Structure 1
Amino acid sequence: MIRDLMIAEKNGYTICLSIDDGSTYKGKIEFSENKKLIKVKTDYEIVWFPMENISHYSIIYNFSKDEKES
């Protein structure tokens, strides 16, 4: 999981995260220096929480028209 999320952070992909308390967040992510906390920047807020609280994640890839045709 952490490897996928680090790739998403590096490439600026949007992430959908489900947290173990039932809440969900969609936005860009950043890791803390020790990779134990994750920051999610949504359209409405910025939220920090521990990595171990993530119960599910999805990565949203944006493809350009040129990539679809190849």
Structure 2
Amino acid sequence: MAVSRVSFGITMITTLIFSIILPAVHAQSMAPAPAPSNDGTSIDLGIAYVLMLVALVLTYLIHPLDASSYSLF
């Protein structure tokens, strides 16, 4: 009976030590955060294109009204 109690105690201590140490052995460091896929330049470029298109449309809408007061021929 004493042998089985000592054997059981050694088994429990060994199991406890391994249950504490083994997860630390297999632990991996956290991966770094991924780089941002959009830094805002594409949004700024899209806004710039829209503003240029608005300016172009306004220019061609206003220009014929301006040119109609002049006689070209």
Q: What TM-score, normalized to structure 1? A: 0.17
Greater helix percent: which structure?
A: 2
TM-score of the superposed pair, with normalisation by structure 2: 0.16
Higher relative contact order (CA 8 A, sep 6+): 1
Larger fraction in strand? 1
